[in-house]
Copies of this chain bind each other. A is one copy, B any other.
C-alpha cells in the first residue's frame, strides 16, 4: 500500500530522550523532567547525538514533515537544522524563547533572545525548500509581553512561522490569568502580542471559550491537537468535533515527550479514541466521535494545511513533493493474509489501530528513499 508521509505538527526534540516517563501534570513535570533535560543541550555533543536520533526515529515512524521545538540554545538549534538537513526530512524548527518564570539556567535576557534569532532565520529559513524557521515563545507563562510583541514584529518582517502552547492545563490557565490581568483570556494574551495569524500553530487549545475560538478562527490561526500528551499529562480532551464545526483548522502532534511516542499511527488512534471518551463523558449520544478518515486527514492533508503546505505535501497528487510511505498490508492484518475484511474503511481502520513503524517498508522524502 502507498500512503502520504505523516505530518507531525508538534513535538520537542530535546524531550525525546525521556519519552514514556511522566506521571505528573504540566507544571511540575516541566520542572522535574523538561528543564533539567533541556539544560543539557548547552553541550554540543548531546545536541548532536539527540538530534540525529530524533530525526531517525521520526523517519522510522513514517513522519516526513515535522514542526519541532528545540531548546533556548542557538548552537543546539543550528545543530538540529544540520541533522534535519542530513536526514532529508522536511522540518520547521525553532529555538525556544523564554525570559521569565523559568529556571535561571534556561532564562535569556529579552534582547539577547531576539538577537540570536536573526542569524538562524537567515541561515535556515527556506533552505533547500525543505527547512524552515518557526519563532518559538515557549508559552505565555515564560515570556514577557515585551518579548512576545517583538516576536510578533519579527514574524511579520521575516514571514516565518510562529509556534507556541495554548490552554493546556487548568493550573497553567490560572497562572496566565494572574500574569496578564489586562487580557480577556489566554488566547487574548497572544492576540495582544500580535502572535495570531495563518502561519501560527497553537498547540493543545483544550479549554477554550467561544470568544477564544472566534479569535483563532478570524485570525486563521491553526491548532496542533495532541491527544496522547493530553491524556498522559491529564490535561483534558480537546473537542475536535466542536472546533471542526466552528471551522478551525487542525493537524496532529505527538508532542513528544508529553506524548510517549513519535508514532503518528498511535496519534491517529488516540485522536479517535479520546474523542470517544469525550463523547462518553460529556458530549453524550448526540455527539459524534472522530472517524478513522478524519484522523487520517489530520495526520496528512490537515497537517499540511496547518503548515500552509497543502500545495506541496499531505496527499498523493500530481505536482506535489513525493513524500510517501510503502506499507506492507500483511503487517497490519491479524491473520497476516487471506483477510475477509478488505473494504477501504476496514483497511484504514486496521492501519490506524494496528499500524506501527514495523509495517512501514520504505519511506520516501521528496522522492528520495530515506528508509
Contact = CB atoms under 8 A, between A and B. Distances in A.
B260 A16 contact: no
Contacts of A16: 334-335
A34 to B, nearest CB: 13
B350 A21 contact: yes
Nearest to A279: B234
Per assembly, the copies of the chain total 2
A107 interface: no
Nearest to A36: B340
Interface string A225-263: 000000110101100000000000000000010001100
Contact of A349 (B22, B50, B354): B22
A339 interface: yes
A334 B289 contact: no
A38 to B, nearest CB: 13
Contacts of A256: 334
A277 B231 contact: yes
- Contact residue range for chain A? 35 or more
B20 A334 contact: yes
A115 interface: no
Contact of A21 (B17, B53, B341): B341
B17 A354 contact: no
Nearest to A336: B53
A281 B279 contact: no
Contacts of A338: 49
A352 to B, nearest CB: 8
A353 interface: yes
B334 A19 contact: yes
Nearest to A332: B20
B19 A234 contact: no
Interface string A52-82: 0100010000000000000000000000000
Interface string A334-359: 11101111000010011011101010
Contacts of A23: 291-292, 349
Contacts of A237: 277
Given A17-B340, A22-B349, A282 B280 contact: no
A354 B19 contact: yes
Which of A16, A19, A340, A358: most chain B Cβ within 10 A?
A: A19
A334 B280 contact: no
8 contacts: A17-B340, A19-B350, A19-B353, A20-B353, A21-B349, A231-B273, A236-B280, A281-B281
Interface of A: 16-23, 49-50, 53, 57, 231-232, 234, 236-237, 256, 260-261, 273, 276-277, 279-282, 289, 291-292, 332, 334-336, 338-341, 346, 349-350, 352-354, 356, 358
Given A19-B353, A20-B334, 5 more contacts: A17-B339, A50-B335, A57-B334, A234-B279, A356-B356
- 3 A-B pairs with least C-beta separation: A20-B353, A260-B353, A20-B350
